[in-house]
């Protein structure tokens, strides 16, 4: 597998400069403050005005960085995703196949998601909006980095002859990401469903396709 961690965003590069580092510190402070309020008062009860007051910034400053509460969730969750993937990456490298790597990664995601279920509805609605070209804040806020990880895993599998190489890894990663999101949405809509099982079905569909074993 690639030796470069694909989930590290440009904001983590050492030469981003003092201004960018200060901006990131402000974003982190606002998102952490908001999350503490969400945990204490409940997500729906918290207002942007409360977040600004608790963070000791003006409402204009908060709205300049985060126009909606969902954007604050996205910033926090993307930071947690990057940290989780950084910790998990060596274990993924040790696995021999794409199916095993995807399964290991998505099972870790399932564990995290189960403990954040109350926030995933608004977060996913926001993410689906920003995934659309030209969608809300699609350029202002970085993506989660998950598609980049999928693309790197797929590229490695293509190089190993495990995955068809006639389709670009980025295209295949795009489809994998929507299978991932679809599994999450189905899990949220089905009380008692197992997210690991939903992810297993998504990985199977992606790696093996929908055709039966007897198909020509």
Distance separating alpha carbons of residues 205 and 201, to the nearest angstrom: 6
* Residue 141 in this model has a pLDDT that exceeds 90: no
**Is the pLDDT score of 11 beyond 60?**
no
pLDDT (mean) for 144-153: 91
Q: Quick check: 126 and 117 in contact, CB under 8 A?
A: no
Q: What pLDDT is attached to residue 6?
A: 52
Q: Taking all residues of the chain, what is their mean pLDDT, rounded to a whole number?
A: 87
* % of residues, the chain, pLDDT over 90: 74
- pLDDT tens for each residue of 157-210: 999 999 999 999 999 999 999 999 999 999 999 989 999 999 999 999 999 998
Whole-angstrom distance, CA of residue 9 vs CA of residue 145? 7
Cβ-Cβ contacts under 8 Å for 136 (sequence gap 6 or more):
126, 129, 130
Give the separation between CA 216 and CA 214, rounded to whole angstroms.
6
pLDDT at 7: 47
Task: State yes or no: pLDDT of 136 exceeds 70.
Answer: no
Is the pLDDT score of 99 beyond 60? yes
Compute the Cα dihedral for 159, 173, 137, 116 and give only its sign. negative
What is the pLDDT at residue 133?
Answer: 53
Q: What is the pLDDT of residue 20?
A: 86
Mean pLDDT of 141-146: 72
pLDDT at 14: 53
Distance (Å, whole) CA 154 – CA 162: 9
pLDDT reported for residue 142: 57
CB of 24 within 8 A of CB of 11? yes
pLDDT tens digits for 48-85?
A: 999 999 999 999 999 999 999 999 999 999 999 989 99
Average pLDDT (209-215) is: 69
d(CA 138, CA 191): 31
Number of Cβ within 10 Å of residue 188's Cβ equals 16
Residues 144-179: b if buried by 16+ CB within 10 A, e if exposed: bbbbbbbbbbbbbbbeeeebeeeeebeebbeebbeb
């Amino acid at each position: 597998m690639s030796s470069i961690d694909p989930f590290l965003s440009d904001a983590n590069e050492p030469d981003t400069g003092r201004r960018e580092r200060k901006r990131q510190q402000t974003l982190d402070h606002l998102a952490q403050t908001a999350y503490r309020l969400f945990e204490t008062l409940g997500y729906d009860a918290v207002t942007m005005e409360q977040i600004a007051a608790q963070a000791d910034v003006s409402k204009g400053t908060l709205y300049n960085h985060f126009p909606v509460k969902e954007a604050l969730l996205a910033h926090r969750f993307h930071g947690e995703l990057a940290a989780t993937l950084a910790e998990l990456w060596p274990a993924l490298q040790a696995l021999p196949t794409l199916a095993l790597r995807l399964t290991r990664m998505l099972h870790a995601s399932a564990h995290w998601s189960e403990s954040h279920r109350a926030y995933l509805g608004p977060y996913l609605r926001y993410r689906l909006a920003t995934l659309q070209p030209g969608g809300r804040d699609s350029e202002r806020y970085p993506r989660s980095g998950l598609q980049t990880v999928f693309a790197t895993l797929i590229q490695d599998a293509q190089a190993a002859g495990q995955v068809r190489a006639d389709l670009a890894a980025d295209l295949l990663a795009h489809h994998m990401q929507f299978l991932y999101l679809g599994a999450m949405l189905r899990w949220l809509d089905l009380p008692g469903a197992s997210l690991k099982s939903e992810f297993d079905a998504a990985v199977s569909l992606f790696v093996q396709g929908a055709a039966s074993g007897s198909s020509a």
